[in-house]
Structure 1
Amino acid sequence: MTRPAPRVVETLNAALHRLFEERPSLHLLGEDVLDPYGGAFKVTRGLSTRHPDRVFGTPISEAGITGVAGGLALAGDQAIVEMMFGDFAALAFDQVLNLISKSVTMYGDRVPMPVVVRCPVGGNRGYGPTHSQSLQKHFLGVPNLALYETSPFHDPYAQLAECLDRGPAMLFEDKVLYTRRMFREGVVDEHHGYALLGGPTGWAHVSPVDGTSADVVLVCPGGTAHRALDAARLLRARGLTTHVLVPARLYPPDLEPVLPLLAGARLVAVAEESTEGGTWGAEIAARVHTRIWAELRAPVLLLSSADSVVPTAPHLEAGVLLGAERIAEEIEAAAARSLPPRAPAAPHVAAAGPETVATRAGEPQTFEPEAAGPEAAGPEAAGPESAGPVAGVPVAVPKLNNNDTAYLVLRWLADDGAHIGEGDPLVEVETSKAVEEIAAPAAGYLRVRAAEGTEAGVGELLAELLAEPPAAPSPGTSAPTAPERRVAAPVPAPSEEPGPAARTHVLDRSQQGTAAVVTRAHREVPAAFAAVEVTVDAVLARLRTLSEETGAEVGLPEAVVKAVAAAHPAFPHLFGTLLDERTVRLADTVDIGVTVDAGNGLYIPVLRDCAARSLADISDDLMDFRMKAFRAEFTAGELSGGSLSVSLNTEPGVLLVQPIVMWPQLCMVSVGGPLTRLVLTDGVPAPATVVTLGLAYDHRVVNGRDAVAFLRAVADALNDSEQLVKLIG
């Protein structure tokens, strides 16, 4: 089995250990960096045990720590300073600005200043206004001071070694990255790979594996890289190919290796988490404009977090910090305004701007007209009076995820015949789990072609946007509609209107989406159910030890997911999809959906390739899912493609849960809460912790005997000591 890539925090720790072995004059200073604590984020774990005379736990004085480091460097030694939080680097600003940076050149000769100030930065952890900032921009432009940022692409050993050799320097480490895995061997995902341009401390260039050239080049520091990759995936679904550039060194930037890529793009954007104004992105934009202004088709787009302190409450924090959805939305809008490639106009043709047409919902395409005259462009281009909505602009069903070929039309957000502005929300559709909103690709009068409650296939017509108000249909006729695939059962009208005292509850969007999915599951899947009880004391004890060893919060949900994945080779048909009455499509990888409910709706995001990943890795994803559920920010891709699902109901006292098979899957496992039982051990009654494992299954494919055997296999993996060692590793 392929060993998973190390986490960023592990590579940082390994880099420090290697540097301490190679550089006998290297020291590290910081608060709470000594073992067994090993720093607030465990980056320095083990260093003080191995090098007790060169690792110093210091008082709480950032200015003092940085000043001592500068003194060590002036005396011929090397020093790394750890700020417990990067926000506190503001307290050391005087030492950075007036001691370690100026000492390089203020004594007549150039003086080596091998000092690195490490700064954990960034939000998305709920740490609040003074522990969540990205302060990189405040250190830009300080003479002799270089700025670096960790990334999932760059080896931190190479970064730290270069920092010390060219020092002084600051290394910014986004806190969210610590538990993320490094990318390696040029692979990002099934659609994207990466290469390093300009050496190990150059640029990571992420591009599609099929070699598609860039419509958009998105430049970002390492802490924003995962959001940039998520935005690239969103933009890919909307018809824009995005390449991502991530530097190892923020300042001074070396743009030479990437200028050809930037010059050939339809749009260049820079995304960073700091607030706008005097940013690293502005520095990049200024240099790009100076170097390749003639080749740019639009000004560089700058994307930052909101002009605000970073709140503690997760939903408020998410509203302030730059996220993948906003990156994708602003890039899509800016790309639609970009100029076509520069080309000399024919002598007899006047210069013409780009035209924009809508090929499908949410995907405007820009092109250069072949001729600018009214004869070529048609009557719509005859003059300014013709500017406005294009007659009959179709709104087709876009491809929202790879799991579905049709979606349920939930609700029209505008009345038939109403005038709609470009970009206005038009309709909500339900995928296999998520509710997606489709916006108007152009302005016009709405003519609805697919009724609420019907299913519409990808590419089918949802509506048209007309230049003139649609005429009412003649008596006895009706407007054409898309082929009806399924109509939801009408809700019977109440026998009487509720009185003034009547209380009602209206389902929100998330509840409506859940209702649509479970209704379909009940209607289409002939489900059966089986359950077994399993003792979990041994696995819980081993998980507590594993949590202490890895720093990850590993619990029973992660163990159940791994145990279910381990049963895949023996029960492949339980992880399949029923294609017809005789055929089951088997899954190549074990992608398991897990239920997550943060009080604002039920979600079933998918954990990918569970058989090949560690418990700690799965724990990281589950924690990420819980935060996304709280913020209601899942993408359709994260909620689709599972081969089997697990319903987690592990609150104490939950005896039994009978889940619903989530079509088109065939099975859903349920996990109850821990219960205490008295069991006989060598004839002596003793307390034991048990949980109930259930399996809801599609009886067309899975028989009761297979269901019970599958549950026994999962239970044995959690209870049998020999199998438990293999499961947890």
Structure 2
Amino acid sequence: MTTVAVGTVAPRVAEHLNRALHTLFRNEERLHLLGEDVSDPYGGAFKITKGLSTGFPDRVLSTPLSEGGILGVAGGLALAGDKAIVEIMFGDFIALGFDQVLNFASKSVSMYGREVPVPLVVRCPVGGNRGYGPTHSQSPQKHFVGIPNLALYELSPYHDAGAVLGSALKQGVPAVFFEDKVLYTRRMYRDGRAGDGYRYEMLGTADSGWAHTFPEGERATADVIVIAPGGMVHRALDAARALRDEHGRSVHLLTPSRLYPLDLEPVLPLLAGAGRIAVVEEGTAGGTWGAEVARLLYERIWSSLTGPVILLNSADSIIPTAPHLESRVLLGRDHIEAAVRTSAGWDVPPQGAAGEQAASGVRLTDEALEGVALTVPKLNNNDTSYLVVEWLVEDGAWVDEDADVVSLETSKAVEDITAPASGYLQRIVPEGEEPGVGALLARLLPQPPGQAAPAPRAAAPDVVPATGIPGPAAVHTLDRAQQGTAAVVAKSHREVPAGFTVIRADVDAALDALGRLEEETGAAFGLPETVIKAVAAGYEEFPLFFGSLVDERTVAVADAPHVGVTVDVGGGLYVPVVRDVAERSLADIADTLMDFRMKALTQDFSAAELNGGAISVSLNPDPGVVLVHPIVLWPQLCMVSMGAVGEEYRAGQDGTPTPVRTVHLGLAYDHRVINGRDAVLFLTRIKARLEQPDELRTLLEDGSDRP
């Protein structure tokens, strides 16, 4: 059983699962793992199998791209007396091996006239919210419910993955273990806490038991119980918090480790005492796991239910790649909150037409009828206007306070703007317009608005200047991301008198130590995370490097070393912020950078993720990049750059040429605050942290979440 030392930071779910697999392979000498690209150095599409092929080379096999073939071979191994785990790269692809699950593995248990154990577990990364599109984002759980001799499990942040997988292999029947991809970068819950204000307890056994999550001090009472499999936990818990904050209701969560066959016995008393019960799942409606749960509840506690079981699913649609469309299709926190609130009758919007008296008998004034203004907020320092991408609420519809109303696009991100008050929405600015900061977007009225035509879009002037210069062969319009980059660069060169210093660091020791640490932990990280950590480590000694100019005489020093990091994967340059770097492990920083790269691909950053950096690091790891001259991102005072790792030869002690891996570190700095000598000292300290054994050891172990 995998354990984590009390007092350390809980591991990421992906790290926890990787450690569980390593433990299983150490304990099970006849266990095999098969899948596409599961061998090192790749370690699977999500790095869950990293290190396994190195540690157990004879029992971990990267296979051809054939789900039917993989499952057939694994089923044969299990039938012959070995044990097998299969990784399906994306759960969508299990459809290609469905015949092997339905007609071979599950039937082999009982079709030979006696019970034959088939210890096979099929791991399936499933679910959306990652921008992977229609064929890499589905949740196919419902298609496997009800197959005889087939057990279904789902990864959760509560349950010990090693205990669940080990138990599944011992049951003697094949199993499918669904892993919602959004969980991989989340942390495990532990020590009975599930975030602020909520606790949890485990009920039942390790392989088929439940996690019961409840507000602190309210374990025995629940207005609503939401049954949520592991991938839905965070969305359901966010909805529970919102319902508690807005309506004072106690909403509990129940999360099983085994989806089918479902053991309700440990939680029946809780369910029988609840006011209402909801089941949430990311798959589409029709023949669902949730319907199976409802059937069992109707059989067991019909007389205790105060209303029908609420079944919540994603929309009956393919899953789009575009984030704003994907969020509308997939079941999310807002959908859960609204459905529970409506079914329970907790929130009824006010009624009545304009000019009628309110329930209190007081006639609404003209000022009140104008409602509450929704204006364009200041989202960043680079833009003075934002594009209205999409209205998320229909014109004239009722809107709750703090509900998402409209999506605005900045030069770097799309940000959802919330309602400052409840009311009926009256749009002022149509989609496609680009209002300035402070402009009126809409009003929230106490009465339904009349039908008003949207403001007309201003036409571009039909004027062509007569310059006498031949027209261009082609015209390229910069997209908003590049326009934002242009604004930042122009502002930097206009306002910051920058100096620049560069230093060379030997990184052989750092790269060797990182390799050893990866083998020990199974986590994936490299030199960029180490440099970010080394930069942040200078916060106490060089506080001015982490500040901003208030006026010509005053520097405001940041409260912590929040480090911006350049990310450019082809969709524009972004500089999202890794917060509180000094308190975080290398693996944690690596997870954050991977999340940033995924968001850069889908252009899904929030404004909050792009603001608040105290210093920035420009990462340029492409082969052949020797030196990079960064800019200073106003209002910051410094940016560090890192080129690619290169190799040079030096004479060894015996005169023989010896290869040494090096990297160039540059520093651009605001010369009004920082002088050249200080810049050299700052870079020299970074160099020392990468080269000197004691400094390097401290850097790598600082914030470590290893058990």
TM-score between both structures, scaled by the size of structure 2: 0.70
Matched, 1:717 2:689: yes
Matched, 1:601 2:607: no
Residue 555 of structure 1 aligns with an amino acid whose one-letter code is G
> What is the identity percentage for the equivalent residue pairs of Structure 1 and Structure 2?
38
Q: In the alignment, what sits opposite 2:424?
A: 442
- The 8 Å contact of residues 70 and 86 in structure 2, kept in 1 or not, is answered as no
- Per-residue CA deviation, residues 533-557 of structure 1 (Å, 9 max, x unaligned), is 2134413455456556666553332
- The 8 Å contact of residues 414 and 606 in structure 2, kept in 1 or not, is answered as no
- Per-residue CA deviation, residues 585-608 of structure 1 (Å, 9 max, x unaligned), is 5424x4322111222222222334
Aligned-partner Cα distance in 1 for 2:85–2:577: 37
Q: In the alignment, what sits opposite 1:137?
A: 142
Which of 373, 386, 399 in structure 2 is aligned with 1:410? 386
Q: In the alignment, what sits opposite 2:359?
A: 376
Aligned with 1:532: secondary structure? strand
- Per-residue CA deviation, residues 620-662 of structure 1 (Å, 9 max, x unaligned), is 3322321221111223443344443212233323522222325
Matched, 1:628 2:603: no
Which of 521, 533, 553 in structure 1 is aligned with 2:503? 533
Q: What does residue range 81-160 of structure 1 map to in structure 2 within 5 Å?
A: 81-85=84-88, 87=94, 88=97, 90-100=99-109, 115-122=119-126, 134-143=139-148, 145-160=150-165
Which of 538, 543, 546 in structure 2 is aligned with 1:575? 546
* RMSD across aligned positions (CA): 5.8
Q: In the alignment, what sits opposite 1:203?
A: 210
Aligned with 2:502: secondary structure? strand
Aligned-partner Cα distance in 2 for 1:691–1:468: 65
Q: What does residue range 152-551 of structure 1 map to in structure 2 within 5 Å?
A: 152-163=157-168, 168=173, 170-174=175-179, 176=181, 181-186=187-192, 191=196, 194-199=199-204, 201=206, 202-204=209-211, 219-223=227-231, 225=233, 245-254=254-263, 257=267, 268=278, 270-272=280-282, 274=283, 276-284=285-293, 295=306, 299-303=310-314, 306-307=317-318, 316=321, 327-328=332-333, 330-331=335-336, 334=339, 337-341=342-346, 354-355=348-349, 376=359, 391-396=369-374, 409-411=385-387, 428=408, 430=410, 434-438=413-417, 442-444=424-426, 446=428, 455-456=437-438, 463-464=442-443, 467-468=449-450, 496=465, 501=471, 503-514=474-485, 526=496, 528-538=498-508, 539-540=510-511, 542-543=513-514
- The 8 Å contact of residues 121 and 169 in structure 2, kept in 1 or not, is answered as no
Residue 84 of structure 2 aligns with an amino acid whose one-letter code is V
Q: How many matched pairs?
A: 642
Aligned-partner Cα distance in 2 for 1:640–1:453: 21
Aligned-partner Cα distance in 1 for 2:384–2:215: 31
Residue 371 of structure 2 aligns with an amino acid whose one-letter code is V
Aligned with 1:603: secondary structure? coil
Q: In the alignment, what sits opposite 1:66?
A: 75
- The 8 Å contact of residues 376 and 441 in structure 2, kept in 1 or not, is answered as no
- Per-residue CA deviation, residues 253-301 of structure 1 (Å, 9 max, x unaligned), is 35563886898799946232x4553232443455568858964699432
Residue 592 of structure 2 aligns with an amino acid whose one-letter code is D
Aligned-partner Cα distance in 1 for 2:489–2:272: 47
Residue 410 of structure 1 aligns with an amino acid whose one-letter code is Y
The 1:28/1:697 distance shift into structure 2, 3 A limit, reads same
- The 8 Å contact of residues 674 and 689 in structure 1, kept in 2 or not, is answered as yes
The 1:531/1:674 distance shift into structure 2, 3 A limit, reads farther
Task: Return 5+ residue gaps in structure 2 as ranges.
Answer: 454-459, 702-707
Aligned-partner Cα distance in 2 for 1:324–1:454: 31
Q: In the alignment, what sits opposite 1:556?
A: 527
Q: In the alignment, what sits opposite 2:556?
A: 584
Aligned-partner Cα distance in 2 for 1:513–1:207: 44
The 1:420/1:493 distance shift into structure 2, 3 A limit, reads farther
- The 8 Å contact of residues 276 and 307 in structure 1, kept in 2 or not, is answered as no
- The 8 Å contact of residues 408 and 429 in structure 1, kept in 2 or not, is answered as no
Residue 619 of structure 1: CA displacement? 2.5
Aligned-partner Cα distance in 2 for 1:434–1:304: 26
The 1:100/1:138 distance shift into structure 2, 3 A limit, reads farther
The 1:9/1:298 distance shift into structure 2, 3 A limit, reads closer
Residue 302 of structure 1 aligns with an amino acid whose one-letter code is N
Residue 119 of structure 1 aligns with an amino acid whose one-letter code is R
Q: In the alignment, what sits opposite 2:457?
A: none
Aligned-partner Cα distance in 2 for 1:333–1:294: 21
Residue 155 of structure 1: CA displacement? 0.7
- The 8 Å contact of residues 107 and 149 in structure 2, kept in 1 or not, is answered as no
- The 8 Å contact of residues 594 and 646 in structure 1, kept in 2 or not, is answered as yes
- The 8 Å contact of residues 680 and 686 in structure 1, kept in 2 or not, is answered as yes
Aligned-partner Cα distance in 2 for 1:130–1:446: 38
The 1:324/1:512 distance shift into structure 2, 3 A limit, reads farther
Aligned-partner Cα distance in 2 for 1:446–1:572: 46
